[in-house]
């Protein structure tokens, strides 16, 4: 029978972690929680989980979860991993399917809806075999590359996602991360190498006068990316795919480009240099040395828990760029 680990990352969302532990403790072979909560919240979580068989690991916050994927996956021992967020809850049918262990494919997307029952679409790479992983980059919104395309898990075995109100601080954090890792210029340069016609067209649009280039480039990325994904994955939910990718990602790309254009010229140049270094190293995890457990653990030990995750991420990036090597202890 196939073995499965539940892997969850947590920052100050103890209630959701505890709920999922209770729901899934008999449906999986092991539970691994990677926690970067504030000290008091961490103590509360540790105390709440003491009566459950949970492997709880402490890490410093980094502003988003993807840089810790390698560390978390490395702590699991099963063939398959179910990766859930604290604000997600498995349905009864999903729990039943997990107990049956009838996985025919290596990578699955699992259907997601909100608590009112509104469709949110399929959440990518939620359930996957460890040996299907090609590379763990830690880049925002992707983080893991696989050897094969994902398949859709049965729709009645879904996840309920407890949506939160949008907060400008989260959006700003994402803009910071995006423009350190993959500013639009870097994305287009990479696209030119892989798909020359599309890349050259976007490159031409991107170099038009502002603000025309912002809106046209964003539309090209959002709408073009939507069509490409529908064709590539033979997606039958094409209306949903268009509405999500074309409109959501167009808006997101506009915000990302506006944020980058608002930065001083020297800061823009610095971020492009860092983004190229991250790309050349194979992702932010290798760039920061987070593929080595002892570095993650020593950074955590030497962190004073006195700054938000986005500042932690920025300090580690700048240290790596200017010192040409990852930080072994947290650089104050």
| Per-domain residue ranges of the chain | 4-161, 168-277
User: Would you state the pLDDT for residue 264?
Assistant: 96
Mode of pairing for the β-strands spanning 107-114 and 119-129: antiparallel
- 257 against 233, higher pLDDT: 257
Kindly tell me the burial class for residue 131, based on how many C-beta atoms sit within 10 Å of its own C-beta (0-12, 13-18, 19 or more).
exposed
Q: How far is it, in rounded angstroms, from Cα 202 to Cα 223? A: 12
Give the mean model confidence (pLDDT) for residues 240-259: 76
Lowest mean pLDDT among 52-61, 186-195, 276-285: 186-195
Q: What local confidence, expressed as pLDDT, does residue 244 receive?
A: 59
**Fold classified for 4-161:** Spore Coat Polysaccharide Biosynthesis Protein SpsA; Chain A (3.90.550)
Structure tokens that stand for 237 in this block? 């939910």
Q: What is the pLDDT of residues 292-324, one digit of tens each?
A: 999 999 999 999 999 999 999 999 999 999 999
Closest C-alpha to 85, from 171, 5, 7, 3: 7
- What Å distances lie between residue 332 and 292, 304, 308, CA to CA? 21, 9, 14
pLDDT at 247 over 80: no
Residue 130 pLDDT exceeds 70: yes
d(C-alpha 179, C-alpha 272), whole Å: 8
Mean pLDDT of the chain: 90
């Amino acid at each position: 029978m196939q073995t499965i680990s539940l892997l969850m990352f947590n920052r100050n969302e103890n209630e959701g972690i505890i709920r999922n532990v209770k729901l899934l403790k008999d449906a999986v072979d092991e539970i691994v929680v990677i926690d970067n909560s504030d000290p008091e919240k961490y103590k509360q979580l540790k105390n709440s989980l003491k009566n459950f068989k949970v492997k709880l690991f402490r890490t410093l916050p980094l502003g988003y979860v993807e840089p810790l994927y390698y560390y978390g996956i490395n702590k699991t021992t099963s063939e398959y991993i179910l990766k859930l967020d604290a604000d997600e809850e498995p349905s009864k049918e999903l729990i039943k399917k997990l107990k049956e262990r009838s996985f025919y494919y290596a990578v699955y997307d699992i259907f997601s809806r909100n608590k009112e029952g509104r469709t949110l679409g399929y959440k990518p790479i939620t359930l996957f075999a460890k040996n299907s992983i090609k590379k763990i980059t830690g880049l925002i919104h992707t983080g893991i590359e696989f050897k094969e395309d994902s398949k859709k898990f049965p729709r009645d075995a879904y996840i309920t996602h407890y949506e939160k109100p949008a907060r400008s601080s989260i959006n700003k954090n994402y803009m910071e991360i995006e423009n350190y890792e993959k500013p639009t210029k870097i994305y287009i340069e990479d696209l030119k190498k892989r798909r020359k016609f599309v890349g050259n067209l976007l490159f031409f649009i991107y170099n038009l006068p502002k603000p025309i280039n912002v809106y046209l480039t964003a539309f090209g990325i959002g709408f073009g990316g939507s069509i490409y994904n529908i064709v590539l994955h033979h997606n039958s939910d094409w209306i949903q795919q268009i509405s999500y990718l074309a409109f959501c990602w167009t808006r997101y790309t506009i915000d990302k480009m506006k944020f980058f254009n608002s930065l001083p010229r020297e800061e823009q140049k610095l971020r492009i240099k860092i983004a190229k270094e991250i790309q050349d190293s194979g992702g932010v995890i290798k760039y920061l040395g987070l593929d080595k457990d002892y570095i993650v653990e020593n950074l955590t030990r030497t962190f004073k828990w006195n700054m938000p995750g986005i500042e932690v991420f920025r300090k580690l990036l700048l240290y790596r760029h200017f010192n040409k090597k990852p930080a072994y202890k947290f650089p104050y």
